Amino acid sequence: MSADLKETTLLAHGSIDITPSVPMPLAGFPDRNENFEDIDTYLEISLVILKQENKYVLFYGLDTLFVPDELLIAVMDKYGSKLNLNEADIWMQASHTHFAPALDKQITGLGAFDPSYFAFVKSQLLQLTEQVLSTNFKEVSVSFHESAAAINVSRRKRLLRFDNGKFSFKTLLYPDYNKPTDTGIKLVKFTNAEGVTEAVIWSYACHPVHFVNRLTVTSEYIGIIRQYIKAHLNAQTTVLFMQGFSGDLKADITTVTHTRWVDKLRYLFQYKPKFTNFPSAADYNKWVDILWHGVKQCLDSKSALSQSIQLKLAESKLDINSLSHNDVPVQVRFKSISFWPVFTIVGLSAEVVCDYSKMVKAIFSEHPVITTGCQNGTCIYLPTDMQVAEGGYEVNGFKKLFGITGEIKPGIGELVHHALYQLKQSEKANATQA
C-alpha cells in the first residue's frame, strides 16, 4: 500500500456479556474484600474489527479494571496465523471500571483474582471473536466528532499534614480545582451505505470510581452512556469505550453539588473537601447526564464521512526498568493507529496522567488525536516529573498494590517523549514501506 493510497474499509462488530453469575470480590479498592451484593449495569466485551484487503485490525473494549496480556495471547494463538496478525493489530482496552471482578492475577492488591471468572471471560472473548469474524463485513464510512464536558478534575490536592513529627505538604486524593484536566470527548462513527451507524468508539478521561454502592457490579458511566447511545442510534450498534489519560482525574462532584466554594474555603484551613464521593445515586446520575449531553452533541454533529482511509499502525516499547528501579521484566507499550487523513488513536499500557495528552497531540499534530490508556498489560502509572517531585498516589501510593517495588526515576517525561517520538517515526516508516 503506498503512502498516499486510501483503501475501502470493511467492518464487522459485536458484543458479549461478561457479568459474573455468582458472588465474588470486585477489583478497584484495596479496602473492599467482600463479595458483591447487587448488579446495576451489565459488563460486556465490545469488539470492532476493521478489514482492508487482507489486513485486519481488532479493537476490544472490556468492562474491567485491567486487561492482562494473557487475553491478547489467547487471540494471537487462535487467530494470529490465520489472519496474519501482529500484536500491534490487536487493541485490548480496559474501561477501568472499579466495580468488576479482577482479570489480572498479577495485580491482586486491588481485589482478589478468581480463576473461574478469568476462564469465563477468556472463553467469551474467543467466542465473540469467532462470531464476529463469521459475520458479513460491511463497507463503512468513518467520521470523527468532538465536544467537551468540564466535569472532571485533578485528584492531586496538596494539603498540610502532620507526619513523622513535623508538618509538611502531602499530595492527597482530593480534587484540585486549579490544576489542568482534559475535558475533551472524542467520538468515531462507522456508518454503512444505508446511513446506519454500525459502531461507535468514544473516549473521555475520568476514573470510573464513583458509583455510590461499592458492593455493586457496574460498568459505571461507561455502561450507562453505552445504553444511551444504543437507544439514540440503534440497539444493534456496538459501542466501544476508550479510557482517556485519566491517571490523575476523577469526577468533579461539585458540578452537581455546587459546593466548590465550600471546598476552597475548607482548603484554606487544610481540611478535606465536603464530599469525596457523590452524596446520592441521584447526584451521580445527574453527573452522567451532563456527560451524556456532551456525547450526544458528538453523535448529532455534522462531520464529513470519509469513505476511503488508510490505516497506519505502529508500536514502540519502553522497559519498565527505564521508568523505575524495579526488577519486574515488563514493558510499557506505545501504540498508534492513524485513520489517515481523519484522526489518530494513541494508546499506552499504563495509567497515564492527563498532562501527557498535550505531548501526544504535539507529536501527532497533523490530525485530531484520541489518547487512551489502560491497554492490555497495564501495570504502572505514568506521572510527570513535577508529580514525581510532589509524590502522591500516582507516584508512590500505587506501587505496593501493583507489585512495583522501585522508585519512579527522574526524567520520566523525557523518556515518554522519546518513546512517543519513536512511535511517530515508526508510523511514518511503516506508511512509506507499505
Asked if the structure places residue 17 within a domain, the reply is yes
Domain containing residue 222: 7-433
Asked if the structure places residue 393 within a domain, the reply is yes
Q: How confident is the model at residue 431 (pLDDT cuts 50, 70, 90)?
A: low
Q: Whole-prediction pTM value?
A: 0.95
Following CA atoms 50, 53, 55, 60 in sequence, which dihedral angle do they give, to the nearest 10 degrees?
A: 10
Quick one: average pLDDT of 16-43?
96
Residues 6+ apart with CB under 8 A from 121: 18, 45, 62, 64, 71, 103
Residue at 409 is within a domain = yes
Give a yes or no: residue 2 inside a domain.
no
Q: pLDDT class for 319, splitting at 50, 70, 90? A: confident
CA separation for the pair 13, 28 (Å, rounded): 29
Task: Give the least confident one: 53-67, 354-368, 406-420.
Answer: 406-420
Show the CA angle centred on residue 363, arms to residues 361 and 364, nearest 5°: 65
For residue 178, what pLDDT is reported?
96
Which has more pLDDT, 7 or 181? 181
pLDDT in tens, 322-343: 666 666 666 899 999 999 999 9
Q: Is residue 264 part of a domain?
A: yes
Domain count, the chain: 1
What pLDDT, in 10s, does the model give residues 124-145? 999 999 999 999 999 999 999 9
Structure confidence by residue, pLDDT tens digits, 252-295: 999 999 999 999 999 999 999 999 999 999 999 999 999 999 99
What does the pLDDT read at residue 2? 35
Going through 120-236 in order, the beta strands assigned E by DSSP cover 138-148, 152-154, 157-163, 166-172, 184-192, 197-204, 216-217
Please give the pLDDT value at position 259.
97
- 1 in any annotated domain: no
**Mean residue pLDDT across the chain:** 93
Whether residue 419 lies inside any domain: the answer is: yes
Positive or negative: CA dihedral 391, 395, 398, 400: negative
Examine residue 19 and state whether it is found in any structural domain, yes or no: yes
